């Protein structure tokens, strides 16, 4: 059964670095892991001039690229609303665990990633869906949430396994 957990933090907190180091730890525990990343701006995974780029620019609604090594599906919204987390999760293949980077305003269970040098506020104060913290400094004494060091990937993997929600619980949660 697929389980899901998010990682929320301000830009520069180290979410991507944490995930790239956490995925091998979870994999060594025998888990198949996928990720879902939210981008706040227009992004492109294709290069101008390539056939798939030309198909998309010509107006194709979807472009699927396949080779013997991988396949990728690009879906152009073309003015449609941005899909919600539940819809995006529905497009993913079954795995043991989906790690979500971003979607910090959604109510799914999350681990806060906090780095003191950013000088940003703690997110857990205003987000009841944050169940644990990974940070380079301890949170305030009255926080009440489990805390592990940002570079303790084994401890973070334990938090992930302890707190991840079943996919159906995430799909049933109200959207932000």
DSSP single-letter state for residue 29: T
Residues, the chain, total? 176
Grade residue 124 by pLDDT with cuts at 50, 70 and 90: very high
Domains of the chain: 3-41+81-172 (3.40.50.300)
Grade residue 111 by pLDDT with cuts at 50, 70 and 90: very high
Per-residue model confidence (pLDDT) at position 80? 87
User: Which residue, 164, 150, 161, 47, is CA-closest to 100?
Assistant: 164
Per-residue model confidence (pLDDT) at position 79? 85
Q: State the number of CA atoms in the 13 A half-sphere of 168 facing the CB.
A: 1
Note the pLDDT tens digit of each residue in 5-53.
999 999 999 999 999 999 999 999 999 999 998 876 666 677 888 888 8
Note the pLDDT tens digit of each residue in 72-92.
888 888 888 888 888 889 889
Distance CA 172, CA 36 (A): 18
Output the CA torsion 70→100→18→43 (10° steps): 60
Buried b (16+ CB within 10 A) or exposed e, 67-85: eeeeeeebeeeeeeeeeeb
Note the pLDDT tens digit of each residue in 133-155.
999 999 999 999 999 999 999 99
Distance CA 10, CA 8 (A): 7
């Amino acid at each position: 059964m697929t389980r899901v957990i998010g990682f929320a933090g301000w830009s520069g907190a180290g979410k991507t670095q944490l995930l790239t180091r956490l995925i091998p730890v979870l994999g060594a525990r025998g888990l198949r892991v996928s990720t879902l990343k939210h981008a706040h701006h227009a992004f492109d995974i294709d290069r101008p001039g390539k056939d798939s780029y030309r198909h998309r620019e010509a107006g194709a609604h979807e472009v699927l690229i396949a080779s013997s090594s991988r396949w990728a599906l690009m879906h152009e919204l073309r003015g449609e609303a941005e899909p919600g987390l539940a819809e995006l999760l529905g497009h993913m293949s079954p795995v043991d665990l989906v790690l979500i980077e971003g979607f910090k305003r959604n109510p799914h269970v999350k681990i806060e990633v906090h780095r003191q040098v950013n000088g940003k506020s703690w997110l857990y104060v205003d987000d009841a869906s944050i169940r644990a913290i990974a940070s380079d400094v301890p949170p305030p004494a009255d926080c009440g949430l489990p805390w592990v060091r940002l570079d303790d990937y084994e401890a973070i993997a334990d938090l992930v396994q302890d707190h991840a929600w079943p996919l159906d619980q995430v799909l049933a949660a109200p959207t932000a």
